[in-house]
Amino acid sequence: MDTFSSGCLPHQSTFAPSLKHTQTMGGICERLQAVYVGIDAILEQMRRKAMKQGFELNIMVVGQSGLGKSTLMNTLFKSKVSRKSAQPNPEEKIPQTIEIKSISHDIEEKGVRMKLAVIDTPGFGDQINNENCWQPIMKFINDQYEAYLQEEINIDRKKRIPDSRVHCCIYFIPPTGHCLRPLDVEFMRRLSKVVNIVPVIAKADTLTLEERDDFKQTIREELRANGIDVYPQKEFDEDAEDRLINDKIREMIPFAVVGSDQEYQVNGKKILGRKTKWGTIEVENIAHCEFAYLRDLLIRTHMQNIKDITGSIHYEMYRVRRLNESNAGPGLAPGQAPTLVSAHTNGQTKVNGGPPNGMAAQCEVLTHEM
């Protein structure tokens, strides 16, 4: 017993400090674990999921022929993504009516995949009589909302609904230097209620800097006078920081842009530009045009916000109207505004047999002009 005791004592005295140190470190680790929950790991989870799924973006370009719509889209994505680039046809004539044509592309950059759809509207504004030429475009946008709605209300719906909704419409204004045409005003007035519109002055290199600034100011005044709310809409600013950023963008609307998919050497660097007898217009130089601001808005800073507004505002307005029409049934008189019918279930509002929606009780009937 003595031998065993004497053998144990040195052993205990040797390891006692290490045991104390271990206990101390264990206490620190426990406290750190108690403080750190790991909520920030959700960002990495979302990133991995988004990288697997990829992204979708559907852009519509509207404007009369010859304003450089195809060239600008190719410049934006540095790829041949326009309709004319994908389906070249030198004998193509101006269509007698507006034809909606969509071309899809899969683009990948640094491991990020995006399915891009460019929707062209050849024939818009090219006729002698352009009355109601916005109607086919309005119908196309609503048809995409309807297709998405039908997928949503299916009992056995897809895990991920294909999104063909138009997220953004780039409207090309001719560089007249004077004012908006009645066609421009009417189109943007009607379409701004159903889609995000970003107006641009096409081929801005045909204007002097003074003419460009005056033209932009005139357009902004006409938009305000006609109640046209283009993207980014002031009413959808989420907070003071958003408002500050978006106010700077609103001061630049419409963007004066120049498109080119031709590369030239300037000061030893390759640049996209347009070469003239007086020099080279650099597309990505903000001193020459505002293409870089447009690209940043559509791709680098506001792409997700554009998609969010499409889904939560424009599509939601369409969905509410359609569900009200379905609830009203055939007894609804032509031109009669449907009323929002709701029922309360467990403290939530259920709209027209649809899913519970806590905000539905506050909704007013919102309609898309047709």
Residue 277 DSSP code: T
Check whether 229 has a pLDDT greater than 90.
yes
> What's the rounded Cα separation, in Å, for the pair 238 and 168?
19
Give the DSSP H/E element, type plus range, for residue 276: strand 269-276
Residue of 284, 307, 287 lying closest to 295 (CA atoms): 284
Sign of CA dihedral 117, 135, 321, 304: positive
Question: Mean pLDDT for the chain?
Answer: 81
Tell me, what's the pLDDT at 163?
Answer: 94
Q: How many residues does the chain have?
A: 370
Check whether 348 has a pLDDT greater than 80.
no
Average pLDDT over residues 86-98: 55
Residue of 197, 220, 224, 225 lying closest to 314 (CA atoms): 197
pLDDT tens for 288-335 read 999 999 999 999 999 999 999 999 999 999 999 999 998 876 544 444
> What's the rounded Cα separation, in Å, for the pair 345 and 349?
6
Tell me, what's the pLDDT at 140?
Answer: 96
Would you report the helix, strand and coil content of the chain in percent, each value rounded to 5?
45, 15, 35
Query: What is the phi/psi pair of residue 101, to 5°?
Result: -130, 130
Average pLDDT over residues 257-282: 89
The tokens 């920081």 sit on which residue? 241
pLDDT tens for 123-147 read 888 887 788 889 999 999 999 999 9
How would you class 235 by CB atoms within 10 Å of its CB: exposed for 0-12, middle for 13-18, buried for 19 or more?
A: exposed
Tell me, what's the pLDDT at 110?
Answer: 87
Residue of 239, 291, 279 lying closest to 76 (CA atoms): 291
pLDDT tens for 162-183 read 999 999 999 999 999 999 999 9
> What's the rounded Cα separation, in Å, for the pair 21 and 32?
17
Percent over 90 (pLDDT), the chain:
51
Residue 23 neighbours by CB distance under 10 Å: 9
Model confidence at 342, pLDDT cuts 50, 70, 90, reads very low
Global model pTM greater than 0.85: no
- Cβ–Cβ < 8 Å for 136, 119: no
Average pLDDT over residues 274-292: 91
- Single-letter residue type at 194: V
Sign of CA dihedral 66, 293, 101, 165: negative
Give the C-alpha distances (Å, rounded to integers) separating 185 from 223, 225, 293, 324, 358: 8, 10, 23, 30, 37
Tell me, what's the pLDDT at 17?
Answer: 53
Check whether 24 has a pLDDT greater than 80.
no
pLDDT tens for 190-217 read 999 999 999 999 999 999 999 999 999 9
pLDDT tens for 6-18 read 444 444 444 455 5
Tell me, what's the pLDDT at 317?
Answer: 96
Tell me, what's the pLDDT at 253?
Answer: 95
Alpha helices in 154-273 (DSSP H): 182-191, 209-225, 240-252
pLDDT tens for 50-72 read 888 889 999 999 999 999 999 99
Model confidence at 80, pLDDT cuts 50, 70, 90, reads confident
Give the DSSP H/E element, type plus range, for residue 10: helix 2-35
